[in-house]
Amino acid sequence: MRGRVGQTLRALRGDPAHLARRVSRRAYQRLGAADLDVLLGLDDVADSRGLTLAVPDRRPARGTPLTVGWVCAPPGPGSGGHTTLFRMVEAVEAAGHTCVLYLYDRFDGELRPRVELIRRCWPNVRAEIRSVADGLPPLDAYVASAWETAHVLAARADLKTRRLYFIQDYEPLFYPPGSEYVLAEDSYRFGFRSITVGPMLADLLAERFGVRAAVAHFGCDTETYRLTEPGPRNGVVFYARRDTARRGYLLGVMALREFHRRHPDREIHLFGDPTARVPFPATNHGKLSPAGLSELYNRCTAGIALSFTNASLVPDELLACGVVPVVGDNPYARGGLPNPHIRWTEPTPYRIADALGAVVEGDRPAPAELAASVRSRPWSDAQRVTLATIEDEVYG
């Protein structure tokens, strides 16, 4: 007991926050709180084996206004995946159709604050917002937005509707091999009409599951992310997400520690996770709005943008602001990022630090050249493909 008390006192004197995290972790383990990380209720799990999905008795005449349900998890402020999804919702609404957002939460959280958040963060979405817990009526079509919501729609096999799947990433890779990995993988066998963001996913689904998908190509919001500071810069920026394994948080921190050792005069900026703490001088900006990110990027020379699954939107946004992105090389991310100014590197701490050092030491184009190189394709191309696929699935 004396030993434990002494250990506690030493921890309090050294790092109270570290002690708090240790206590929280122990409570997490003892209370079985890992169950909270399971995003899908047992009754909402489907199985592709023997799955027969009901469809409407007849198709509406082409041109008839449709009602489309979009099933998604409740978003957090600044969620990139929800921003892309809601762009598609806006396009379907602009075409004269009615959209309804159905939020799926295994724990049936309160709806009102989530509605308020969506209205505040995505004011262009006019869709009514409901909870899946209140039931799914037989609309013309429903669009799943992630593997969990694909299960939600498949588990309601008797619901007469057309089912589509808007796929932004190969989500089995979000998990180690296990239950979630297998369930996410099975969602691609449900037979939903599929739309992928970027060609890599379409190729992968065709190769592994025989699924033919429409491709909604990546766009870049160059109205928000744009060059405003063409002059000298000092900063380096990292999209730091501790709770998202595919973003390579630990690799980025280790690389920046080595980079700081070599370049102690360089400012280091973090964003994405307000609780991230690193063992070197850095400014943590937490969660930023798109306009705030653009302002931050325009103070930076280079940025780390790691993604071990589909391509991230961050490299294009960095380039649009005149920043050289350093990206860990892997076949999933490379397929969606064709820009020649991206610095691909083996995703190890020293290799990433080497690439950052090469950029800040002068081996880089001018910010204006970087900004001019960004893909010119707007998000309207992806919106057009998504709208056409939904209409084709419903009208026939």
User: Residue ranges per domain, the chain?
Assistant: 42-219+380-395, 235-372
- pTM above the 0.85 mark? yes
Least confident of 103-117, 141-155, 243-257, 363-377: 363-377
Interatomic CA distance for residues 133 and 109, integer angstroms:
10
Output 376 or 85, whichever has higher pLDDT: 85
CA distance 364 to 71: 43
DSSP at 208: H
Tell me the Ramachandran region of residue 78: left when phi exceeds 0, alpha when psi lies from -120 to 50, beta otherwise: left
What the block records as the tokens of 179 is 């239950």
Distance (Å, whole) CA 37 – CA 356: 35
Q: Which pair of structure tokens corresponds to residue 379?
A: 């998000």
Tokens 């056409």 belong to residue:
388
For range 362-385, the mean pLDDT: 90
AA identity, residue 323 = V
Phi/psi of residue 375, nearest 5 degrees = -50, 135
Fold of 42-219+380-395: Rossmann fold (3.40.50)
Tell me, what's the pLDDT at 261?
98
Stated as kind and residue range, the H or E segment containing 316 is helix 314-320
Backbone angles phi, psi at 363, to 5 degrees: -85, 75
Predicted pLDDT at 363: 73
The fourth-level CATH superfamily of domain 235-372 is Glycogen Phosphorylase B; (3.40.50.2000)
Q: What contacts 212, CB < 8 A, 6 or more positions away?
A: 194, 206
Phi, psi of 27 (to 5 degrees): -65, -40
* Average pLDDT rounded to a whole number, residues 250-266: 97
Report pLDDT digits (tens) over 154-201: 999 999 999 999 999 999 999 999 999 999 999 999 999 999 999 999
pLDDT value at position 244?
A: 87
| Highest mean pLDDT of the ranges 7-11, 32-36, 216-220, 354-358 | 354-358
Q: Does residue 25 carry a pLDDT above 60?
A: no
Single-letter amino acid code for the residue at 13 = R
Confidence check: pLDDT of 310 > 90? no
Tell me which of 75-84, 238-247, 329-338 is least confident: 329-338
The yes-or-no verdict on residue 22 having pLDDT over 70 is no
State the amino acid at position 239 in one-letter form: Y
Find the mean pLDDT for residues 39-57: 95
DSSP 3-state assignment of 236?
strand
Query: What long-range pairs does 247-250 form, CB within 8 A, spacing at least 24?
Result: 247/272, 247/306, 247/307, 247/308, 247/312, 248/306, 248/307, 248/308, 248/328, 248/347, 249/273, 249/276
Same fold: 42-219+380-395 with 235-372: yes
Contact between residue 255 and residue 353 where contact means Cβ atoms under 8 Å apart: yes
**In this predicted structure, what is the pLDDT of residue 18?**
55
Pairing of strands 98-103, 235-239: unpaired
311 has a pLDDT exceeding 90: no
Integer-rounded Cα radius of gyration of the chain: 23
In the numeric block, which tokens belong to residue 228? 């405003």
